[in-house]
Every structure is written in C-alpha cells, then in structure tokens.
Amino acid sequence: MASLRELQGAFAAALRDPAAACAVLPPANMSVYRNNASVTFRETLAHTFPVVHRRVGDDYFRQLAVLYRAGFPSSSGDLHGFGRDFPAFLAEYLDGGDYAWLADLARLEWLRAECSVEKTVSALGAEALGNYASAELERLEFALQPSLRLHSSSYPVFTVWQANQSENASPVDQSTGNEQGMVLARDDGPELASLAPRLFSFLSALQSRATLGDAMTTAGFGEQELLEALAFLFRQGMVCGLSVRAPA
C-alpha cells in the first residue's frame, strides 16, 4: 500500500496537472478541488489588489492570477501573504511595456495591505520636542508609526489609486510623471496620500533612523520648511517616540 506521503504527493500532482494519476473515486471530482484552489487564489489576489483588478478587468486578471500562481505557489497556510510577490511578478511580466506602471500600482496596494494589519501606537504631540535642549535637537531620532509605508514611483500611482475608488474611472495619463507618498493606518482603514518630493525625502530619512539634522540636510530643508514638516508629522500622529543619538 502507498504511504501517506505518496498518496498526498500524487493528489498534489493531480491538483497541478489533470493528466497526473491519482487513485481517488470518482476521478472526475478532482476538478472540484482544482477549481477551489484557482478561485481561492484569484479571489485572494483580487481582494489584495482591487485597483489593479479594476484597471485590467476580470479576464486579464484571471490570466495574471494563473501565471502568478504557477511561478509563486502559496508557501503558507495563511493566505494573507499570498500577494507579497505579485508586484515583482508584474514588473517582470510587464517589463518595458505600456502597462509597466501596473507593477508600481501593485506595490502601493501591497503596502496598503501590510499597513491594514499593523498596530497603531500612541502618538506624541509636538510639545514632546520641548523635553530636549536646543543642542540636542539635531541629534534627535524619530520612532514613526509601525504602519507607515512610503512609496516612490516613476508613475502617478497615487492619483491612479484615488481615481479608481469608484467604477468606470477614466484612465490616468501616465506621462504626468512620478509621485511619492505614504500609507498610514487610521481607525477606518489605511489612508493614502501623495507627498511633495522633499517632504518624502525627509520622512524616508527619519524612517531609516537618520537624525533630525541629517534628515533636514537630505531633504534640503531650510528652517521654515523644517518647522512645517515637523508640524505635519505631529499633526498626522506619526511620531511615537523620540530619542537623542549619542555624539559620535
């Protein structure tokens, strides 16, 4: 008699290939399991990438889901991570074509999916800066909300995402150029917003634990711009912690 491992291996092969031998009865009903798997994966992908789905339509999305699953089969009993490689798959599949921007849109939607299950930490108010001496301010490091995701694209993907929150949205002119922005958890779901390039650079630097002084230099901020950026961070509830880096 075949071992359990052999029986499950044959069943798995028959799920991938209808022509593979598998000693089950009635054999025709294996199609139910094959269909279950393809529908589950496609629906999971469509749930995670609703705007990509909307832009390409049902038929093309179905083809993409089949190709993606063939290259990136599920590696977990938890489906929440199933779309992780979809942006990279699209980038390779659409490389250089007119629809290459869809990969960047997918990256934004994956960041949104990640953000939607992150915890939100109590935010500090701007008055927390008052706890530090003037000389310490440039060596301040910021702990930002764990849900904050930053995304920079060569395409106007934030505009595409926003425009496609309703059906029958008009196509966005991709030649309008690059966009940068953020995704941040709110009580009613992730919020997406595009950011000015220098504010994006400033936030990126702080998120990678640059000091306030270094982030200011990276962004090319003057004093007034710095004050406005800090007011934005605190107003958005992004700052969860402050600490002073020891002098080098």
With binding defined as CB under 8 A, does residue 32 bind another protein?
Answer: yes
Measured in Å, how far apart are the chain's first and last C-alpha atoms? Answer: 70
Q: Angle, to 10 degrees, between the axis of helix 197-207 and the axis of helix 212-219? A: 150
Measured distance CA(203)–CA(216) in Å, rounded: 10
Nearer of residues 40 and 63 to another protein, judged by Cβ: 40
The answer to the question of residue 95 lying near another protein (CB under 8 A) is no
CA dist 47 and 54 (Å) reads 11
Residues 42-71 within binding reach of another protein (CB under 8 A):
none
**Among 60-68, 89-97, 181-189, 205-213, which window interacts with another protein (CB under 8 A)?**
181-189
Q: What track of x and - describes contact with another protein for positions 110 through 129 (by CB under 8 A)?
A: ------xxxxx---------
Site residues for another protein, 147-166, by CB under 8 A, read: 147
Q: Is residue 30 at the binding interface for another protein, with CB under 8 A as the rule?
A: yes
- 72 or 232, CB closer to another protein? 72
Q: How far is the CB of 65 from another protein (least distance, A)?
A: 13
CA distance 55 to 102: 9
143 binds another protein (CB under 8 A): no
Task: Give the DSSP letter string of 76-136.
Answer: SS-GGGTTTTHHHHHHHHTTTSTTTHHHHHHHHHHHHHHHTTS--PPPPPGGGGGGS-HHH
Asked if residue 11 binds another protein (CB under 8 A), the reply is: yes
Q: Tell which residue, 206, 241, 202, has the closest CA to residue 218.
A: 202
The stretch among 9-17, 60-68, 193-201, 206-214 that binds another protein (CB under 8 A) is 9-17
Partners of 184 in the β-ladder = 191
Which residue ranges make up the site for another protein (CB under 8 A)?
A: 1-5, 7-9, 11-12, 15, 23-27, 29-30, 32-33, 36-37, 40-41, 73-80, 82, 116-120, 147, 185, 187-189
